[in-house]
Amino acid sequence: MRDRFIKRLIGKRGYRLWQQVCESDLTAQHHHYRVIQSIDFQEHKHEGQCLVKKESYKIAFVVEEMWAHSGGITSILRLGTYLTQFGHHVYYVDLSGRPVKESAENAKNNLPYYEGELIGEEGLNDEYDIGIATAWLTAYHLYGRDNFSYKCYFIQDFEPAFFPLGDLYHLALNTYRFNFHMISLGPWNASQIRKHIGKVEISLIDFPVEVQQFPIQKRKINVTDRLKLIVYVKPASRRAPILVFQSLDLLTRALADRQMTVQVLVFGLDPRAEIPIGTNAGYVPHNELLEYYRTCDFGVVASFSNISLITYEMIASGLPVIEFKDGSAPTFFDKRQLIFCETSPADFVSKVLYYLDHQEELKKMVINAQDSLREKTWERSTRSFIAAITSTQN
């Protein structure tokens, strides 16, 4: 009954996308569960960790898998690259079992100039000064090991929210009770963690933009009879693909009444995926993405979990960006910098029409947003990251 209702509501193509969203939540693998089952939580408390002072550290980022086309993996690689340039020895331990050569290709796909050494799961057995969990499953792999002198948790999102209320939700939530040194990418994750488990120590680093790849660009805004939108969509409910496509459909009809045409370019999905509206550009390399940003009029991103790198890249490229008010974006930007709409297709349309009629306000919004980015670089955030860790030196 539910499936038939959803299919009628969003159409055949939208229904296929909804099925992908449901399937994408079933990500846990059996060998991760064996690790969870083997942990003695009474034996390892990780209380009062203290890092021995050194000029440089051997650091391992533990990743579930070195996915291609992943913003989260790209952030890890950026962080590791700057740590390498600062004189530390950085390793990326890939738990997927994928051949290292293949994982290295995926890493290059995300960040062609990344530095640090990529190794397989056997790398977990080496000795390290600092081990860094990068997702909830990797925290369990790190938890029971004694060959990491100091354990950290690089938190890019509030991962319990990736799951319905149930076992995976609580397994993810419990990782924030491990007494690792938690370092959050931006303040939103920290606020969510404290809301759910109480007052805990969490270090913060700014959510940055990589100005080497996405330099801050000035551009003219002058929309007349055609509106060109670039839209970031992923098959995950936290990125609101169904809401986004419903909003775009309603906007197309509203602008037709104004004798305006709408061109919608969607990226972030498998290029073979059928979408209800627009052109599916698939996974777009950053040089092509820059060109798309420069030739479009608005960017659309939904961040119902932690904000996306894409929002920052669009702003740097001179795009006014539409986000949803109920997500995390208001934690990072205000209404002078971003277009916030309610979780409603009608309000989405209302906001776009307003700014099409007030394009001078739109120009000021982009300037304000870009001004807020100028100090938020990956180099600066990496220095904050290592400073937070070394503040515990003995």
Cβ atoms of 140 and 32 closer than 8 Å:
yes
Domain identity same for 386 and 342: no
Predicted local confidence at residue 287, as pLDDT: 83
Q: Which two tokens stand for residue 234?
A: 């992923």
Domain identity same for 184 and 292: no
26 in a domain, yes or no?
Answer: no
pTM greater than the 0.85 cutoff: yes
CA dihedral sign of residues 320, 321, 326, 332: negative
325 in a domain, yes or no?
Answer: yes
Domain identity same for 316 and 386: no
193 in a domain, yes or no?
Answer: yes
Strand-strand pairing, 128-133 and 117-119: unpaired
268: left (phi over 0), alpha (psi -120 to 50) or beta: left
Q: Which residue from 372, 17, 367, 23 is spatially nearest to 217, judged by alpha carbons?
A: 367
CATH of the domain at 322: 3.40.50.2000
Tell me the pLDDT tens digit for each residue of 100-134.
Answer: 999 999 999 999 999 999 999 999 999 999 999 99
Kindly report the CA angle at 323 between 174 and 241, in degrees rounded to 5? 70
219 in a domain, yes or no?
Answer: no
Domain that holds residue 292: 226-373
Domain identity same for 193 and 242: no
- For the chain, 394 residues long, the average pLDDT of each consecutive 10-residue run is 51 57 49 70 66 93 94 95 98 94 94 95 95 96 91 97 90 94 97 94 93 87 95 91 95 96 95 93 90 95 95 96 96 97 97 96 96 92 95 74
Domain identity same for 184 and 266: no
Write b or e for each residue in 124-163: b if 16 or more Cβ atoms lie within 10 A of its Cβ, otherwise e.
beeebbbbbbbbbbbbbbbbeeeebbbbbbbbbbbbbbbb
The count of structural domains within the chain is 2
147 in a domain, yes or no?
Answer: yes
Tell me the pLDDT tens digit for each residue of 346-391.
Answer: 999 999 999 999 999 999 999 999 999 988 999 999 999 999 999 8
37 in a domain, yes or no?
Answer: no
Domain identity same for 366 and 384: no
Cβ atoms of 175 and 35 closer than 8 Å:
no
Domain identity same for 199 and 248: no
Centre a 10 Å sphere on the Cβ of residue 203 and count the other Cβ atoms it contains. 18
Cβ atoms of 75 and 185 closer than 8 Å:
yes
Domain identity same for 170 and 287: no
The DSSP letter of residue 392 is T
Domain identity same for 291 and 202: no
291 in a domain, yes or no?
Answer: yes
Domain identity same for 315 and 345: yes
Domain identity same for 201 and 315: no
Domain identity same for 310 and 381: no
Identify any residues that bridge with 181 across adjacent strands, giving them in sequence order: 152
Instruction: Indicate the average pLDDT of the chain.
Output: 90
Q: Give alpha helix (H) positions in the chain.
A: 2-24, 30-38, 71-85, 100-110, 136-143, 167-174, 187-197, 241-256, 286-295, 309-316, 329-332, 345-357, 359-373, 378-390
2 in a domain, yes or no?
Answer: no
